[in-house]
Structure 1
Amino acid sequence: MTSLNATSDTVSSIDADALILGFDGDVVSHAQLPDDVRASIATTAQALEPKAKVGATVVLPGTDIAATRIVLVGIGDGSEGDLREAAGAAARAVGTRPSSVIVALPATDDAKAAAVGEGVILGSYTFNEYKSDDALASYEGAAWQVAGASGAAIERARIIAAAVAGTRDLVNTPPLDMFPAAVAEIAQSYGEQLGVDVDVYEPQRLADEGFGGILAVGMGSSRLPRLVKVEWAPEDAKSHVALVGKGITFDTGGISLKPPKGMETMKSDMSGASAVLHIVLAAAQAKLPVKVTGWLCMAENMPSGTAQRPSDVIRIYGGRTVEVMNTDAEGRIVMADGLARAIEDNPDAVLDIATLTGAQGVALGTRTSAVMGCESVRSEVVAAAEETNEAFWPMPLPEHLKEGMESKVADIKNIGEPSGGMLSAGLFLRDFVGETPWAHLDIARPAFNEGGAWGHNPSGATGASVRAMFRFLEKRAGL
């Protein structure tokens, strides 16, 4: 199993597959390297023209120390964010299936050391569950040792990295094996291990209690929907935060069928629910003094004789009605049910996380998520994101866009005018939160990287929003 531990500041004599050092124009590390060793490494590296640009790597033979190779990585300005990204890039450069790596980047405090720890675990992440290569199947991961890190920094890094990696695993799993009932079973298993309460709403219960949105979206599939409540409720909670996650395990678009190319990455449409599950679990592992209630809105959006149709009117939990104009705008429908139920418990704030709109990527690109909602909670999300170096950008909710969602036969339509689609979706969701302080996180493109790996982000699922929301909860807990 991959492990993360602290090691001493002195690494002049080591026995490891690799040693990771920083470069900012000179060879820098948190470790006590003898002057002659540092000079020799710098001289050898000079021929390869190392760069201080964050994540730029050169690999040297470990001739001066007892390591197979030395990875020199650019650390930019040495900030927490740059160190996390550098550590992730360096982790990928250490070679195939290392058994032990010493990371001696210049982390001068616990926050930077934790960032380095997160970076190497996340940067080395791979998803090989479906590979038939025996060597990959038997590989148990590396032992990562962060020079000079405290036990507290390492523990925090472990919890956060595990939450991000767990989110990636759920999203990367093919939809053949990851469907609403499977997610519910996984949540129950985690709950038993970590002392987290899990309550699964089966289809009949959804019908009996009026969750018309989740049922409508999921009724086209033979694998029926679920609503999963996951709760960490410590006795010393200083705040109560509800998190609602979009969990479309596969999105064909339903009757409003997507083009084939548009379906290729749609296993990622459950990224929000996956993040919510692991954020709650991370809060429990860290024993944060804040109550966190997660709602996973799980459905598979398929076209069939039982699927919902454009022009159907469905009744959301709590009674509001929605005219379905496009069955590919399904995420907001399941989220409406989740939000309406979440606010019944009177949380201090409710936040939803969703791969909600293609318009998010058009507006902000592939690496920057959007956040909308009431100004106070939206500002908290942006602040937490800045502290964790996740890119979130505050977006408005223009009132005039509501006119496009006015329905002649129901309370609201599920889509508005073509322009401003991300903002219209936010306005739709706002209809279901009442007076509860609320923020909506649209992570549509950042949640799944269709390009090459960069920093600590691999190709495929990224775990977007997990680190920022964990920090949000810490701040709510006064930490």
Structure 2
Amino acid sequence: MSTPKLALTDTKAAKLTADVLVIGTVSGADGPEIAPGGEEVAAAFDGDLAKVLATLGATGKAEEVVKLPASGLRADVLLAVGLGKITGDAPTGEQVRRAAGSAARALSGIGHAATTLGALDLAATVQGTVLGAYSFRKYKSEPGDDPVGQVDLIVPDAKDDAAKHALKGGTAIGESVTIARDLINTPPNDLFPASFAERASELGRSAGLEVEVLDEAALRKGGFGGILGVGAGSSRPPRLVRLRHKGPKAAKKVALVGKGVTFDTGGISLKPAASMDEMTSDMSGAAAVIATMVLVAKLNYPLDVTATVPMVENMPSGTAYRPGDVLSMYGGKTVEILNTDAEGRLILADAIVRAAEDEPDYLIETSTLTGAQVVALGKRTPAVMGDEDFRDRVAKLSQATGEGAWPMPLPEELRGDLDSKLADLANVAGHRWGGMLSAGLFLKEFVAEGLPWAHIDVAGPAYNTNSPWGYTSKGGTGVPVRTIAAVLADIAENG
């Protein structure tokens, strides 16, 4: 995947030479209106550009794309992209991000474009452009159109350090999300525990991270019963990858954990055939954590951050773990298996206990944990569970990034449903009610006492099975890279 070349310019939009010039529109009371930044372009149409767009059927609604000849301008084509209705003084960052993404998707095959959206929110425009231009064509025999080659960002303060910082940070975040997307979109015959560990190691070493990989022998010696149990049915043995960044003057230590089930059949508790192909995305949490670590190193966050990433393939076979088995987890707790399709929490439990041994100040973990998350919050809204104060902090920051996570409770009355007649606890409750919350309560059992932690369940948001929208492509989305990055930045600034 190639990222468009992005450049800052303070050249007036009406005087900039490009194949396509992008401006924003908003939904007004009487039709489309030209968004701030596009005034000079509108003047080239004698002030009648909004009327021309209305004649072409434009309304300014969110993600609407309308193209017309750029008469009177130095560009060949004018592309007007909708921001939607503006409720405050200006569009939100997410409105700008989605508009920039929609424009970037429409610019596929274009060599050189320019946009005025950066005057509204430069960082959001950069992120939206990078993410909207994304496509994954590695396995296509026909190459298809390349993403837009270059995008000039028209901003009045192009030479200021703040603008340069927004460009660098927005590009780094966008590129890290695309790393996660590429990993998620790689099919499981090419991305299995060993090859996933190799890719993570290559990414980590290239970024300057410390890398440690535990193979099946090291996992057995260390007593990682959850990871070994889930991976026992596959001919491709499990791995545990550890990546560490120690930033300058690091005042806080943060542990990241991400679920890396490279394919999930459900094991002996076999999933239905319908949509099982989507289980190639069951390692989205691991992909997000690895991509975030690359970002942390690239921007040199002043934190000590360590990622602990378990990688397994959950398959049915003569060696697979079974309902009724009892696993001895890393750290000593025992778990009765009632359903082998509740495997993610088992490998996360091992990783959480190992991560806590580093005595972090915060723990953030993420996974495609439960189908119940989709039932509760839909396909686009992640759930956050955990320590209430930290949970709410993560949710608030996630909403600011546009990923929109929502805080969820961990009701004490559900904990008793995880009691086991044989072991310390069972891996599922005996009913379907509050399945996401029960999974959160299971994970809580393995979190060290007093450690602020948050779990981000992205079962729905991690993978887009429908058509592309905004800056979100079909397939892997890279959620919640931007959320975790925002939380880490907040910890670095505020502790």
- In structure 2, the gaps of 5 or more residues are 27-31
Counterpart AA for 2:479? A
Paired with 2:237 and 2:67, the residues of 1 have a C-alpha distance of 50
Residues 40 and 64 of structure 1 are in contact (CA less than 8 Å); yes or no, is this contact kept in structure 2?
A: no
Question: Aligned to 2:21, what secondary structure does the other structure show?
Answer: strand
Aligned: 1:257 with 2:259: no
Question: What's 1:429 paired with?
Answer: 443
Question: What's 1:468 paired with?
Answer: 483
Question: What's 2:465 paired with?
Answer: 450
Counterpart AA for 1:33? E
Question: What's 1:93 paired with?
Answer: 106
Aligned: 1:62 with 2:99: no
Residues 275 and 463 of structure 1 are in contact (CA less than 8 Å); yes or no, is this contact kept in structure 2?
A: yes
Residues 372 and 426 of structure 1 are in contact (CA less than 8 Å); yes or no, is this contact kept in structure 2?
A: yes
Aligned: 1:438 with 2:446: no
Query: What is the Cα-based RMSD across aligned positions, in Å?
Result: 1.6
- Cα deviations by residue, 1:97-143 (Å, 9 ceiling, x for unpaired): 111111111634xxx2010110011112111111111455xx47521
Aligned: 1:369 with 2:382: yes
1:377 positional shift: 1.0
Question: Aligned to 2:342, what secondary structure does the other structure show?
Answer: coil
- Cα deviations by residue, 1:403-456 (Å, 9 ceiling, x for unpaired): 111111111100013211000000000000121111111110011011111111
Question: What's 1:224 paired with?
Answer: 237
Change (3 A) 1:362 1:65: same
Question: Aligned to 1:213, what secondary structure does the other structure show?
Answer: helix
Aligned: 1:7 with 2:9: yes
Question: Aligned to 2:139, what secondary structure does the other structure show?
Answer: coil
Residues 264 and 279 of structure 2 are in contact (CA less than 8 Å); yes or no, is this contact kept in structure 1?
A: yes
1:61 positional shift: 2.1
1:43 positional shift: 4.2
Counterpart AA for 1:107? A
Q: After the TM superposition, which residues 177-256 of structure 1 pair with which residues of structure 2 at under 5 Å, given as runs?
A: 177-256=190-269
Question: Aligned to 1:92, what secondary structure does the other structure show?
Answer: helix
Count of aligned pairs: 473
Paired with 1:376 and 1:185, the residues of 2 have a C-alpha distance of 36
Residues 18 and 113 of structure 2 are in contact (CA less than 8 Å); yes or no, is this contact kept in structure 1?
A: yes
Give the alignment partner of residue 136 of structure 2, picking from 107, 114, 127: 127
Counterpart AA for 2:135? T
Change (3 A) 1:145 1:374: same
TM-score normalized by structure 2?
0.92
Counterpart AA for 1:27? I
Which moves more between the two structures, 437-446 or 42-51? 42-51
Question: Aligned to 1:292, what secondary structure does the other structure show?
Answer: strand
Residues 261 and 311 of structure 2 are in contact (CA less than 8 Å); yes or no, is this contact kept in structure 1?
A: yes
Paired with 2:312 and 2:359, the residues of 1 have a C-alpha distance of 25
Residues 114 and 157 of structure 1 are in contact (CA less than 8 Å); yes or no, is this contact kept in structure 2?
A: yes
User: After the TM superposition, which segments of 4 or more aligned residues of structure 1 sit over 6 Å from their partners?
Assistant: none
Q: After the TM superposition, which residues 300-311 of structure 1 pair with which residues of structure 2 at under 5 Å, given as runs?
A: 300-311=313-324
- In structure 1, the gaps of 5 or more residues are none
TM-score normalized by structure 1?
0.95
Counterpart AA for 2:492? A
1:144 positional shift: 1.8
Question: Aligned to 1:478, what secondary structure does the other structure show?
Answer: helix
Which moves more between the two structures, 9-18 or 179-188? 9-18
Change (3 A) 1:343 1:65: same
Paired with 2:166 and 2:365, the residues of 1 have a C-alpha distance of 29
Paired with 1:250 and 1:269, the residues of 2 have a C-alpha distance of 6
- Cα deviations by residue, 1:160-200 (Å, 9 ceiling, x for unpaired): 00111111110011111011111111111112211111110
Which moves more between the two structures, 461-470 or 331-340? 461-470
Counterpart AA for 2:462? A
Paired with 2:151 and 2:251, the residues of 1 have a C-alpha distance of 35
Question: What's 2:306 paired with?
Answer: 293
- Cα deviations by residue, 1:269-304 (Å, 9 ceiling, x for unpaired): 000000000111111111111111111110000111
- Cα deviations by residue, 1:57-108 (Å, 9 ceiling, x for unpaired): 21112233232321111123222111011111121223x4111111111634
Change (3 A) 1:407 1:6: same
Question: What's 1:176 paired with?
Answer: 189
Change (3 A) 1:196 1:141: farther
Aligned: 1:103 with 2:115: yes
1:157 positional shift: 0.8
Residues 9 and 30 of structure 1 are in contact (CA less than 8 Å); yes or no, is this contact kept in structure 2?
A: no
Give the alignment partner of residue 30 of structure 1, picking from 5, 30, 37: 37
Question: What's 1:360 paired with?
Answer: 373
Residues 172 and 295 of structure 2 are in contact (CA less than 8 Å); yes or no, is this contact kept in structure 1?
A: yes
Aligned: 1:412 with 2:420: no
1:32 positional shift: 6.7
Which moves more between the two structures, 275-284 or 51-60? 51-60
Aligned: 1:48 with 2:56: yes
Residues 65 and 103 of structure 2 are in contact (CA less than 8 Å); yes or no, is this contact kept in structure 1?
A: yes
Paired with 1:135 and 1:54, the residues of 2 have a C-alpha distance of 27
Question: Aligned to 1:260, what secondary structure does the other structure show?
Answer: coil
Question: What's 1:20 paired with?
Answer: 22
Change (3 A) 1:35 1:381: closer
Give the alignment partner of residue 115 of structure 1, picking from 121, 124, 128: 124
Question: Aligned to 2:119, what secondary structure does the other structure show?
Answer: coil
Which moves more between the two structures, 339-348 or 192-201? 192-201
- Cα deviations by residue, 1:196-222 (Å, 9 ceiling, x for unpaired): 111101110000000011111111111
Residues 22 and 106 of structure 1 are in contact (CA less than 8 Å); yes or no, is this contact kept in structure 2?
A: no
Paired with 2:39 and 2:379, the residues of 1 have a C-alpha distance of 40
Question: What's 1:74 paired with?
Answer: 82
Q: After the TM superposition, which residues 134-153 of structure 1 pair with which residues of structure 2 at under 5 Å, given as runs?
A: 134-136=143-145, 139=146, 141-148=148-155, 149=158, 150-153=163-166
Change (3 A) 1:34 1:440: closer
Question: Aligned to 1:26, what secondary structure does the other structure show?
Answer: strand
Change (3 A) 1:471 1:200: same
Paired with 2:167 and 2:11, the residues of 1 have a C-alpha distance of 15
Counterpart AA for 1:310? P
Counterpart AA for 1:456? Y
1:373 positional shift: 0.6
Paired with 1:437 and 1:140, the residues of 2 have a C-alpha distance of 41
Paired with 1:238 and 1:49, the residues of 2 have a C-alpha distance of 55
